[in-house]
A and B are shown apart, each in its own frame.
Chain A
Amino acid sequence: AQSVTQLDSHVSVSEGTPVLLRCNYSSSYSPSLFWYVQHPNKGLQLLLKYTSAATLVKGINGFEAEFKKSETSFHLTKPSAHMSDAAEYFCVVSGSGSARQLTFGSGTQLTVLP
């Protein structure tokens, strides 16, 4: 079984300041982990993924995430927030087996203030 916990339902930052969105996971095997972003009235877009290669993963739009097995965490960061980053962010873990269905966290709504 697997699960994902996003520790903050809402995060608010000022434009130009760092972003930290927290995620902890639980998995009985070596997981694949993802961050997806959902802008209003849009579908889910993959930001980045971890699949047991480098523990620091770089994604699109300046985002990155670090896989820390000892802390079972996969926090998403960005050095400097932009207004266009305002969206809902989902931490996701991939299931085992050939179908590899995804388990989503509850989401973090990021607000970027001018």
Chain B
Amino acid sequence: EPEVTQTPSHQVTQMGQEVILRCVPISNHLYFYWYRQILGQKVEFLVSFYNNEISEKSEIFDDQFSVERPDGSNFTLKIRSTKLEDSAMYFCASRGAGTGNEKLFFGSGTQLSVL
């Protein structure tokens, strides 16, 4: 089965630093997502991306966050100035278009630790 790839698997950073989490979605997919899971809490939707623009975002996704698809294969999440509460597992996901393509394929996640 095709896979969504995320790098790195673990990222440790100092508070206030910028981090970029990288994802390679499945090649023919058109919708891309970021979710996060703070330890012991629900998986939360952050943002969805389609046709080179954000289609939906949650209240979590404030001005500190941005997403980009720089080269047609990678899909990145940037946190401009990390806070302690940004520590979480971040999941990238992608899916194809149209009816019958509701299944999201998830990557194995990037564990972000902000110190």
Chain A residues with Cβ below 8 Å from B4 are 43
**B residues 59-115 in Cβ contact with A at 8 Å:** 91, 93, 95, 100, 102-109
Q: How far is the CA of A95 from the CA of B4 in the complex (A)?
A: 21
A11-19, A20-28, A45-53, A69-77: which one contacts chain B? Answer: A45-53
A46 engages B43 (CB within 8 Å):
no
**A residues 74-114 in Cβ contact with B at 8 Å:** 90, 94-95, 97-107
A102 engages B45 (CB within 8 Å):
yes
Known contacts A43-B91, A43-B109, A44-B91, A102 near B104 by CB under 8 Å:
yes
Known contacts A44-B43, A90-B43, A106-B42, A101 near B106 by CB under 8 Å:
no
B14 close to chain A: CB less than 8 A = no
List 4 A-B pairs, minimum CB-CB distance, nearest first.
A43-B108, A104-B43, A99-B48, A44-B106
- Chain A: CB-nearest residue to B58: A101
Q: How many residues of A contact B (CB 8 A)?
A: 24
Interface, chain A (partner B; CB < 8 A): 32, 34, 36, 42-46, 49, 51, 90, 94-95, 97-107
Give the one of B41, B44, B106 with max A CB within 10 A: B106
B48 engages A107 (CB within 8 Å):
no
B107 engages A51 (CB within 8 Å):
no
19 A–B contacts, CB within 8 A, in A order: A34-B102, A36-B106, A42-B108, A43-B106, A43-B109, A44-B91, A46-B105, A49-B102, A51-B100, A51-B102, A97-B56, A98-B55, A99-B48, A99-B50, A100-B31, A102-B104, A103-B45, A104-B42, A107-B43
Q: How far is the CA of A106 from the CA of B37 in the complex (A)?
A: 10
A43 engages B103 (CB within 8 Å):
no
Chain B residues with Cβ below 8 Å from A104 are 35, 42-45
Chain A residues with Cβ below 8 Å from B105 are 46
Chain B residues with Cβ below 8 Å from A106 are 41-42
CB distance from A103 to the nearest CB of B (A): 7
Chain B residues with Cβ below 8 Å from A42 are 108
CB distance from A70 to the nearest CB of B (A): 23
Q: How far is the CA of A97 from the CA of B102 in the complex (A)?
A: 12
